[in-house]
Amino acid sequence: MSDHLHAFLAAVRAALGSAPDDIEPGKWHRFPTNGRRSDTAGWCKLFDDGRAGVFGCMRQGINEVWTAQDRRHLNPTARAELARQMEAARLEREAEQRRQWLSNAAKLARLWQACVPLSPGDPVTLYLRRRLRDAPWPLPSALRFHPALPYWHDGQVIGTHPAMVAAVTRPAGDLVALHRTWLTRDGRKADVPTVRKLTAAAGPVLGSCIRLGEPTPAGCIGIAEGIETSLGAWLASGLPVCAAYSAAALSAWQWPDAARALVIFADHDPAGAAAAERLQQRARAAGLRVEVSTPTTPGTDWCDVWANREQEAPA
């Protein structure tokens, strides 16, 4: 392996945590950045001359440039050539991203159509009632039930299980991903390596959420991290609450246009507090009235609060 190639791969690995074992200059390469062999979010291209290249991660929105020589020391001709190569790589990367998003959109549509609306007594309803010790009915249409969803692990299907499938949509309402929770027939978490997974996306996911509710006539809406947490906050407050599906997604969430007031039902942990603070700052800067509501007990969320309401109630 040449020194330049070795240095390029070292830069990719330092930024993304992983890199291909070897690459061919002038060719586009995809590789995993989350430890799963089926993942192709990582990308890199070392230019033909081997003296510069680009790399990044489509899932994380990372785009980086590497050069063997400090770009500040390039002569005008070399600088122009690098700019030409970077622009060509950008167009190639964007075309590849569009192809991948279109392919993912078709897969999402097929999976969503294979799911069915929830009904009393199905594994999803049993699961939510078990977690919350109660559940609103009817449950939001953004949640569906798949009777036998394949579970992939290390590139292989290791079983099928009932699953709760939730639609992750962008502010305009278009489906961008599906959130899956694998279950048992009697409504417990399935015995799988990772119970909850997000599918590959059909577009940018920042700002999206699982729309479990819509703003009230007065324009008030709540937001929390997980599905169960959001339902617990809804039951506890009577306010419609959306699920951001993660702390990072909560901090980047884009509220509906009709929203005038926002209640952030934060998890009581460092990640939850930081995400709530970032969202609060963004929403207040946009002119919304904002309240942050956090459980009193460290390490808990609003699913815990609702599920344990009787023992926490004063005598």
Q: What is the 3-state secondary structure (H, E, C) of the chain?
A: CCHHHHHHHHHHHHHHCCCCCCCCCCCCEEECCCCCCCCCCEEEEECCCCCEEEEEECCCCEEEEEECCCHHHCCHHHHHHHHHHHHHHHHHHHHHHHHHHHHHHHHHHHHHHHCEECCCCCHHHHHHHHHHCCCCCCCCCCEEEEEEEEEEECCEEEEEEEEEEEEEECCCCCEEEEEEEEECCCCCECCCCCCEEECCCCCCCCCCEECCCCCCCCCEEEEECCHHHHHHHHHHHCCCEEECCCHHHHHHCCCCCCCCEEEEECCCCHHHHHHHHHHHHHHHHCCCEEEEECCCCCCCCHHHHHHCHHHHCCC
User: Does 269 score more than 50 pLDDT?
Assistant: yes
130 and 248 co-located in one domain: yes
pTM value? 0.81
214 and 231 co-located in one domain: yes
Domain boundary among 56, 78, 109: 109
Residues 246-272 have a mean pLDDT of 95
Tens of pLDDT, residues 280-298:
999 999 999 999 999 999 9
Domain boundary among 109, 125, 155: 109
Q: How confident is the model at residue 311 (pLDDT cuts 50, 70, 90)?
A: low
In percent, the amount of the chain with pLDDT more than 70 equals 98
188 and 164 co-located in one domain: yes
71 and 143 co-located in one domain: no
User: Does 113 score more than 60 pLDDT?
Assistant: yes
Q: Are 249 and 279 in contact (CB under 8 A)?
A: no
Structural domains in the chain (count): 2
Q: How confident is the model at residue 137 (pLDDT cuts 50, 70, 90)?
A: confident
Q: Are 41 and 50 in contact (CB under 8 A)?
A: no
Domain boundary among 87, 109, 131: 109
User: Does 60 score more than 80 pLDDT?
Assistant: no
User: Does 36 score more than 80 pLDDT?
Assistant: no
197 and 294 co-located in one domain: yes
Q: How confident is the model at residue 3 (pLDDT cuts 50, 70, 90)?
A: confident
Contacts of 196 (CB under 8 A, 6+ apart): 179, 180, 181
User: Does 131 score more than 70 pLDDT?
Assistant: yes
Residues 77-97 have a mean pLDDT of 88
Q: How confident is the model at residue 223 (pLDDT cuts 50, 70, 90)?
A: very high
Q: How confident is the model at residue 70 (pLDDT cuts 50, 70, 90)?
A: confident
Instruction: Evaluate the CA torsion angle 15, 21, 22, 28 in order and state its sign.
Output: negative
User: Does 234 score more than 80 pLDDT?
Assistant: yes
pLDDT of residue 175: 96
Residues 126-142 have a mean pLDDT of 91
161 and 181 co-located in one domain: yes
37 and 121 co-located in one domain: no
pLDDT of residue 38: 73
User: Does 12 score more than 90 pLDDT?
Assistant: yes
Q: How confident is the model at residue 313 (pLDDT cuts 50, 70, 90)?
A: very low
14 and 158 co-located in one domain: no
Contacts of 129 (CB under 8 A, 6+ apart): 135, 187
Q: How confident is the model at residue 314 (pLDDT cuts 50, 70, 90)?
A: very low
126 and 46 co-located in one domain: no
Tens of pLDDT, residues 40-57:
889 999 998 888 999 998
Instruction: Evaluate the CA torsion angle 273, 253, 221, 258 in order and state its sign.
Output: positive
User: Does 199 score more than 60 pLDDT?
Assistant: yes
Q: Which domain holds residue 288?
A: 115-312
197 and 243 co-located in one domain: yes
Distance of CA 295 to the CA centre of its chain: 24
125 and 50 co-located in one domain: no
87 and 123 co-located in one domain: no
User: Does 93 score more than 90 pLDDT?
Assistant: no
Residues 74-85 have a mean pLDDT of 88
